[in-house]
Structure 1
Amino acid sequence: KHAVVGMMRCLAAELGPEGIRVNTLNPGPVDNRMMRSIEDQANPGHGEEVQQAFTARIPLGRYVTNDECAGMAIYLLSDLSSGCNGNTYVVDGGYCAQ
């Protein structure tokens, strides 16, 4: 993610004068099929234990959803975020806040 953030910052500075905004959306653990696969690979046959260990470290106590990530993307695409440029938006239930 660091390379993506660095590229975003450069593009935001370079393209901002043309009215082009560049931001990144960084999701944390998302409640979907990919996360189930990661859990099962981390401890085959005990994916639920891996999920419990992950969620215990998330302040909201759960994975975020695909819809929550999409909601942030919709916000960033809307006029409501017209002043947002060169920023990283994390949707992770507070995981990185620790």
Structure 2
Amino acid sequence: MSLSERTVDIDEVAAALRRTPDYIRRNWLKMHQRHGMPRKNPTGWIWPRGAMEAWLEGAEAAEVTSLSNLVANQNKKLAQRYSNGGRA
């Protein structure tokens, strides 16, 4: 396995997050502190591929869970509203 297969560069991270490389440069530390983004390699703008993939999969799962919770809450409120004869 080559080194490039074990690391992710800033362009690939930016594409995965739908951001620009400049945005990642400015905000990666905040993203690490607030959202658990893996720390970059101190020698440059690269990250361990395995850690980044795991983090991205966790972020996607959290987004799906958040959306599912939103839909469930909306359904619950609608059910409550209409079980009272339409009175909120």
TM-score by length of 2: 0.27
Higher percent of residues as helix: 2
- TM-score (ref. length: structure 1): 0.25
Of structures 1 and 2, the larger Rg is shown by 2
